[in-house]
Amino acid sequence: MNAPSPILKTAHQTKMAKGKGKHPRPSVLLLFLGGSVIDSRGRRGDLVRKPKDIEPWLAQMSEMDIIADTTGHFIGPGTGAIGLAEWAGVAKAIEAHYAGYDGFVVVHQLETIEAAAEALSLMLDGLEKPVVLVGSWLHTRQERSLGRTLVVPGAQEFGAKASFINAVQVAVSDAAEVLVVFGSTIFRGHGLHSTADPQPTLTGRVLGKIDFGIRLFGAQIKRAKRAFRIRAQYETNVAMVEYVPGLTVEQVVGQATGRKGLFFSLAPALQGGAAMLPSLASSLRGLPIAVFGLTGRVGRLPSSLLVLADQTRTAALIHFLWALGQAANQSALRKLLLAPTDR
């Protein structure tokens, strides 16, 4: 991950700072981690690949300054794999600048936005300000040549700019949690599910809609009662095993030995794999084992197993890695994993 960049202001904001503005204005920090393309030609300022791209990008998106003072902070280019290390970087940057801004916009690679929202929902505890994730569906020619071809039907070139404006408007709203702006919908960050077929869509719990303005459904807006803190530690030394016919207990034990946890998942059509769970629990006594994908009746399971339900596989895995990084013992781990995750 690249070193964090200094906060960059647009020329317009510098002018404002010199005293032209008379009214106190909301301020929003934009954190860049891919998904920033506003023109697929990929010229300077069309996307943020390096810290020095932020200023020309903000200059091209000066419309956002009508809503709030916007500043940029570079997390990473977001062109390759994005994971917990990058999301922990986002959480730490938000913590570092928390007092200075009214809201935060995470400009994020679109393909992994639902996993990012899940991770940040866990890492940012006691939020009193909005943290809004948004990503452009446009790709530069260079990105397309690398196989990134996600296309949103009906979306027009200028729609990417409109998404960023929507995100800034949500970031100055009364919502105080991790949110995702996708098309005309504002989703809550936890429990999102993405599909790519027949077209890229997100499903999940809706906090608001965008038609001619931002409409948040008031009953779900809440302020945290706890002080804000980040919980960005996570554990990656975990064996991930997906059951396939023929897999043996010994093979799984071999993979899990020396690790800090085991994430064992079953496909809906391969529930027979649940039969090996008691033996696994017995052979790997003391090792946290999370089980994902149990759908049917499988008889009595050992109580030491952590059965994760009502989540996507990605969300369950992130939740497990994060909880392992937080918990000092099995009891705390169980509490973090199985307690309601509405934050």
Partner 1 sequence: MHLYFYAPPTNRRDLEESYSAIKTVLNQTDLWVSTNTEDQGIQVSAEVLAETRQSGVPLLERMDAFVIEGTTSDPEVGFLLAHAIALKKPTLYLYRRGTVPQVFNHLSQKELPATIKTVAYQPSAVSRVVSDFLQSITGLKIRQIPRHKFTLRITDAMEEYLHFRTHNTKKTKADFLREEIERLMEQDEDWRHHQRRRRSSTE
**Shortest Å distance, C-beta 247 to partner 1:** 40
Distances from the Cα of 109 to the Cα of 18, 82, 181, 233, 302, angstroms? 35, 8, 13, 22, 39
Which one, of 126, 55, 119, lies nearest residue 95 by Cα?
126
Nearer Cβ to partner 1, position 108 or 161? 161
**Shortest Å distance, C-beta 88 to partner 1:** 31
| 100 phi/psi in degrees, rounded to 5 | -90, -5
**Shortest Å distance, C-beta 180 to partner 1:** 13
Nearer Cβ to partner 1, position 65 or 118? 65
> Does an H or E element contain 188, and which?
strand 185-188
Q: Which residues bind partner 1 (CB under 8 A)?
A: 12, 16, 20-23, 25, 61-67, 152-156, 158-159, 161-162, 165-166, 169, 172, 182-185, 201, 210-214
Nearer Cβ to partner 1, position 155 or 224? 155
Which one, of 182, 285, 290, lies nearest residue 242 by Cα?
290
One-letter identity of residue 305? L
Alpha carbon of residue 320 to chain centroid: 15
**Shortest Å distance, C-beta 336 to partner 1:** 34
**Shortest Å distance, C-beta 329 to partner 1:** 44
Residue labelled with tokens 């608001």: 208
Nearer Cβ to partner 1, position 164 or 263? 164
Nearer Cβ to partner 1, position 153 or 340? 153
3-state secondary structure 67-103: CCEEEEEEEECCCCCCCHHHHHHHHHHHHHHHHHCCE
